[in-house]
């Protein structure tokens, strides 16, 4: 995964994140736990166990299929009126 950030003032930053880490079971479990924790902090009464083991496994399998089929897919591309630019590529 590649995240490109450009500010109007001249700051250019490219972050590289290995997509294999996100597609691995360990990465999926970690992401699920972090998302679950953030949801519980925002709205504790409405959120139950959203990210169970079976949901994490299904999400991991779908992510692997998506990574295999769609290399270099642009997920997000945003440019503000002020000239700031963010692009996320799978």
Domain of residue 55: give its range: 2-89
The C-alpha atoms of residue 6 and residue 14 are separated, in whole angstroms, by 9
Q: How confident is the model at residue 50 (pLDDT cuts 50, 70, 90)?
A: low
32-44 as b/e: b if 16+ CB within 10 A = beeebeeeeeeee
Q: How confident is the model at residue 22 (pLDDT cuts 50, 70, 90)?
A: low
pTM of the complete model beyond 0.75: no
| Predicted confidence (pLDDT) at residue 74 exceeds the cutoff of 80 | yes
- Residue 40: per-residue pLDDT: 75
- Residue 49: per-residue pLDDT: 60
Number of domains in the chain: 1
């Amino acid at each position: 995964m590649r995240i490109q950030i450009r500010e109007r003032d001249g700051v250019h930053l490219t972050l590289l994140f290995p997509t294999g880490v996100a597609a691995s079971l360990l990465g999926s479990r970690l992401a699920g736990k972090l998302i679950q924790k953030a949801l519980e902090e925002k709205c504790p009464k409405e959120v139950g166990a959203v990210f169970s083991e079976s949901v994490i496994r299904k999400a991991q399998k779908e992510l692997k299929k998506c990574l295999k089929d769609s290399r270099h897919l642009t997920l997000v591309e945003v440019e503000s009126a002020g000239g700031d630019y963010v692009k996320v590529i799978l």
